[in-house]
Structure 1
Amino acid sequence: MRQFLSGRPAIAFAMQPSRTQHVLPEALIQRLDTIGRVLDAAPMQRFDDERAGKLLGETEILVTGWGSPTIDAAALAQAPHLKLVVHAAGTVKGLLGDSLFDRGILVSHAAQANALPVAEFTLAAIIFAGKKVFRFRDFYVADRSRKRTVPMQAEAIGNYGRTIGIIGASRIGRRVIELLSPFNYRILLYDPMVGEAEAATLGVEKTELDALMASADIVSLHAPSLPVTRHMIDARRLSLMKDGATFINTARGALVDETALLSALKTGRIDAIIDVTDPEIPEAASAFYDLPNIFLTPHIAGAAGLERTRLGEMAVDEALRFIEGRPLLYEIRREDMARMA
């Protein structure tokens, strides 16, 4: 067991309540108060007021979430006893900086928990794309008959024997591969960090990005958004896709040259299922809203509603491991920051 000022570690929260409903239900807060000492169940939404100054002065474990204020040098100056930051969400980019690592404060996050609903959403998107579900729906509703949908069932649709291209063996990408394994899919993977031996272990065929774009019936994007990956899906690569193929993006909008994507979609040659755009909300006149071969959702693939409780559970589990002196399962180190989405 680690040593704390009063025997049990002092725990505080920093997140925006309107964005984090269900993350820490009462049962989880009570569990934290059993293994530690919750200073105040109401989360801090700023670090520059009197209440925050008092709480930070005692805090040894800080549980953060969406909408948390930045843990910068000024905030750390008020938190002399802080030992652990547990982020009950995914990326910590924009939340903390080098000053935290300089102090030796440990950091953990719940990106693995957030990966699960994204992967489940992607699985559903792949299955629906393979069966052209959205096109069937549109024709059926428009015609009020099965005049067009019955002949479509004789086309080369469905999920048997489809080739799925996964771009990025991230947490989400790997979970998608795992979820696809019971189906009769051929799975291609592009990830320069994955070797042939690991690809074989994952049950996928390692390939180059251009070859994946040209071979896959359905392409699903799971790469991190970094300067080097900006617009990695451009007009040339989109032109490689098969006629009738579907492009799925549940990662980040900045990975795609969206002008090129919309141009390709306007031809009707490919379809798209898009959960993320750049900017996050397209302008009102954007073709993202109007094209019939785009299925657009408002960044809902990640943890929503009750799925958010997984984030809180993972954060509480990490806090318990820290208190008991065990290694963190999802620790973030300084060198990880450059590779994080």
Structure 2
Amino acid sequence: MNKIAMLLNPAVRSRVFAAAALERMSRLANELAVPAEPLSPEGSAALIRGAEAAVTSWMSPQLNEELLDEAPDLKIVLHAAGSVKPVVSEALQARGIRVVSAASVLSRGVAETALGLTIVSLKNIWDIADRTRDGDWWNNRADETRSRIRELFGVTIGCIGAGQAGRRYLELLRHFRVDVLLYDPTVSAEQAVRLGARSVSLEELMAASDVVTVLAPEIPATYHMINERTLSAMKDDAILINLARGSLVDEQALRRRLSAAA
């Protein structure tokens, strides 16, 4: 390969790639173009000029017509992050350039975070930590806090979305004796069973779950799917965990629901 262009700001590159990884990558091409300064439109054009492969990540520029004209031999874009939406353009798709991402690898961390938040939220760790710092561990107020501690046992977990992160989350939940509900219109009832869950409507999931974990993609159909109607169906002591994009939750409706349950 003649040239690999790394369209990453230095701060992002240092977080994503170890020096050893960059050294290995440099052996794959005659030239590994690495920016020393934060990317500008002119700098991005110079980096990608003549490249056959481009590496992108968070904060990388969109690969639009203007940039692609600088690299007529570009064959592949390697996106060292999850969603490729920020970098993919219609021009990139029209040219048939292959795009791959690190979504599968990152989904493990997202699923582990979802499980961790599920456990600490059920155990009411946030409130307990505050009470402990305030020296309130052994008074009546602390007893009330401890009474809200639950285990990841015998509760109902609702998972919204069975993409890569959602499936890994469901896999982790298999190690616990819990009932798991799944809402994902692209997954059949039989597929849900194989994932260790029961396929239900969004309304049933919201009403029955002790913990609702949102892992759905950001698409027009999921915009504000957590809204006044769905939130009103939740139990007053239910837990909502959103590891998807913020646009899936109507924050004003959530604020009103929290006030009503207080």
**Whole-Å separation in 1 of the counterparts to 2:22 and 2:48:** 18
Partner of 1:125: 117
**Whole-Å separation in 2 of the counterparts to 1:83 and 1:171:** 26
Alignment counterpart, residue 60 of structure 1, candidates 28, 52, 66: 52
Alignment counterpart, residue 48 of structure 1, candidates 42, 48, 57: 42
Partner of 1:4: none
Partner of 2:248: 255
Partner of 1:295: none
**What amino acid does structure 1 have at the position aligned with 2:129?**
R
**Whole-Å separation in 2 of the counterparts to 1:263 and 1:116:** 33
Alpha carbons of 1:52 and 1:180: their partners in 2 closer, same or farther (altered >3 Å)? same
**What amino acid does structure 2 have at the position aligned with 1:263?**
R
User: Partner of 1:157: helix, strand, or coil?
Assistant: coil
Instruction: State the Cα distance separating 1:154 from its structure 2 match.
Output: 5.2
Is the 1:57–1:79 Cα contact (8 Å) retained in structure 2? yes
Partner of 2:185: 192
Partner of 1:136: 128
User: Partner of 1:176: helix, strand, or coil?
Assistant: helix
What TM-score, normalized to structure 2?
Answer: 0.91
**Whole-Å separation in 2 of the counterparts to 1:266 and 1:38:** 58
Structure 1 runs (4+) deviating above 6 angstroms are none
**Whole-Å separation in 2 of the counterparts to 1:151 and 1:234:** 30
> Could you report, residue by residue, the CA deviation over 1:149-180 in whole angstroms, capped at 9, with x for unpaired residues?
34654557222111100011121111111111
> Could you report, residue by residue, the CA deviation over 1:262-298 in whole angstroms, capped at 9, with x for unpaired residues?
11112345xxxxxxxxxxxxxxxxxxxxxxxxxxxxx
What TM-score, normalized to structure 1?
Answer: 0.71
Identity between Structure 1 and Structure 2 (%): 37
1:13 aligns with 2:3: no
> Could you report, residue by residue, the CA deviation over 1:97-148 in whole angstroms, capped at 9, with x for unpaired residues?
1212222211111112222222111111100111122222233333433223
Is the 1:167–1:223 Cα contact (8 Å) retained in structure 2? yes
User: Partner of 2:14: helix, strand, or coil?
Assistant: coil
Partner of 1:302: none
1:109 aligns with 2:97: no
Is the 2:156–2:208 Cα contact (8 Å) retained in structure 1? yes
Alignment of 1:286-297 (within 5 A): none
Instruction: State the Cα distance separating 1:61 from its structure 2 match.
Output: 0.8
Alignment counterpart, residue 232 of structure 1, candidates 210, 219, 225: 225
**What amino acid does structure 2 have at the position aligned with 1:115?**
S
Instruction: State the Cα distance separating 1:241 from its structure 2 match.
Output: 0.8
**Whole-Å separation in 1 of the counterparts to 2:32 and 2:86:** 25
Q: What is the number of residues matched between the two proteins?
A: 260
**Whole-Å separation in 1 of the counterparts to 2:4 and 2:45:** 13
Alignment of 1:67-216 (within 5 A): 67-147=59-139, 148-150=141-143, 152-153=145-146, 157-216=150-209
User: Partner of 2:42: helix, strand, or coil?
Assistant: coil
**Whole-Å separation in 2 of the counterparts to 1:156 and 1:76:** 55
Structure 1 stretches lacking a partner, 5+ long: 1-7, 270-341
Partner of 1:246: 239
**Whole-Å separation in 1 of the counterparts to 2:16 and 2:94:** 29
**Whole-Å separation in 2 of the counterparts to 1:18 and 1:33:** 19
User: Partner of 2:49: helix, strand, or coil?
Assistant: helix
Greater relative CO (CA pairs within 8 A, separation 6+): 1
Alpha carbon RMSD of aligned pairs, Å? 2.0
**What amino acid does structure 1 have at the position aligned with 2:25?**
L
